[in-house]
Structure 1
Amino acid sequence: MESSAFVLVGFFGLVIYSLAEPLMRRGRARSMQRGPFDRGSTTLVSSLAVLIIAGSIASHVAWTPGVSRLPTWVCVGFLLAFAFATMPRFWSMSVLGEFFTRTLGVSAEQVVVRSGPYRWIRHPGYLAQILAVSAFAALLSQSWWGPLIAWPALWAAYVYRIGAEEEMLASALGSAYREYQTRTWRLLPGLY
């Protein structure tokens, strides 16, 4: 498969992903109203994802002949990584329902969810998003620079967001959430 075909497939995947996510959001999860705990994390994560995707496309467009592109087997791997990353993202959204919000906020009816992917890690949707955007960056840029820049940048942004979110949830949900924190990892079991 030619590199431009992977770019096209990656771009098509991005469009489908971008359209599917808002359709899956229910109730207050569609709101963009930010609570006091958000601390700009929504803007940070969203802006960073847009910059990574735009930079990856620009990198592909500005490609210099003679500079090697990713081999086909690597592109197939990133395509599969994207496909597999979308599954836990949408699974997380489905399990949390209206509590899977774009911005940080807590509703009066919110409870600690311990089912689905949340039985293993506290932020599976964020891990899936980091993987999906990093895979997009590789497919769209057709270079290792896309994921090498995306992964640490997104990781840092989500560590910031998780800190704000966990403070919010511990404050709102009290001992139930603090107990949940002792039994699960944030993003990567055994590491973080």
Structure 2
Amino acid sequence: MMWLWLVLGLVAAQRLWELRLADRNTRQLLAEGAVEIGAGHYPLFIILHASWLAGIAIVTPWTMVPNLRWLVLYVLLQFGRLWVISTLGRFWTTRIITLPGAPLATRGPYRFVRHPNYVVASLEILVLPLVFGQVWIALAWSVANALLVTWRIRIEDRALLERRG
């Protein structure tokens, strides 16, 4: 069986579903008076995530058998991702969208971590390449992701400062 294509196909399908959900939520929030902050850096995240999957696909032999321990960890991370999405509900997007007067999330994973979505996504970027033995992809894309996430968190924290009161 071609594990590489099965796993990457499922990850890509999940990401596409998330983009559709995020787009729907974004449109609804903007219709309610929300505003987008820091839109200029958003395409960099799309490029990062697309090139991450493409990089794994290009350099990994299609006959590669996945490391089951890393694969199980990646699957477990999906529960964290779903926890974040379900906690935020209609407020979950892939962009920085803020609705003035809306309460900030303080339940679910937000009780423990200020930016749980970035934690989960960062771990995914590290772990998935390791499923297929691609250590250099795990490291290179993790560094690029860390730089982008650091930039994004600064923008997001400034945007949410007004709502923190």
Q: TM-score range by the shorter chain?
A: 0.7 to 0.9
Residue identity (%): 20
Q: 2:135 aligns with which of 116, 139, 144?
A: 144
1:185 is matched with none
Deviations 1:92-142 (A, max 9, x none): 1111112112211211352111100000111111111111233233345x3
1:56 is matched with 56
2:150 is matched with 159
Size of the aligned set, in residue pairs, is 162
Structure-1-length-normalised TM-score: 0.70
SS of structure 2 residue aligned to 1:102: coil
Deviations 1:17-64 (A, max 9, x none): 2244246558534679795521523212221111121122121259xx
Q: Contact 1:7–1:139 (CA<8 Å) still a contact in 2?
A: no
* Moved >3 Å (runs of 4+): 22-27, 29-36
Q: Distance in 2 between matches of 1:95 and 1:128?
A: 14
**Ranges in structure 1 where 5+ consecutive residues have no aligned partner:** 63-68, 176-192
Superposition deviation, residue 158 in structure 1? 0.9
Q: Which amino acid aligns with 2:134?
A: S
Q: Contact 2:8–2:57 (CA<8 Å) still a contact in 1?
A: no
2:25 is matched with 28
Give the RMSD, CA atoms, in angstroms.
3.1
Superposition deviation, residue 149 in structure 1? 1.4
Q: 2:96 aligns with which of 104, 119, 128?
A: 104
Q: Distance in 2 between matches of 1:5 and 1:56?
A: 14
Q: Greater CA deviation, 131-140 or 154-163?
A: 131-140
Deviations 1:152-190 (A, max 9, x none): 22122111111110110003x042xxxxxxxxxxxxxxx
SS of structure 2 residue aligned to 1:111: coil
**Ranges in structure 2 where 5+ consecutive residues have no aligned partner:** none
Q: Contact 2:104–2:164 (CA<8 Å) still a contact in 1?
A: no
2:11 is matched with 14
| Change beyond 3 A, Cα 1:137–1:144 | same
Structure-2-length-normalised TM-score: 0.80
Q: Contact 1:28–1:101 (CA<8 Å) still a contact in 2?
A: yes
Q: Distance in 1 between matches of 2:23 and 2:134?
A: 37
Superposition deviation, residue 16 in structure 1? 3.9
Q: Distance in 2 between matches of 1:59 and 1:93?
A: 31
1:114 is matched with 106
1:66 is matched with none
Q: Distance in 2 between matches of 1:109 and 1:5?
A: 49
Q: Which amino acid aligns with 2:43?
A: T
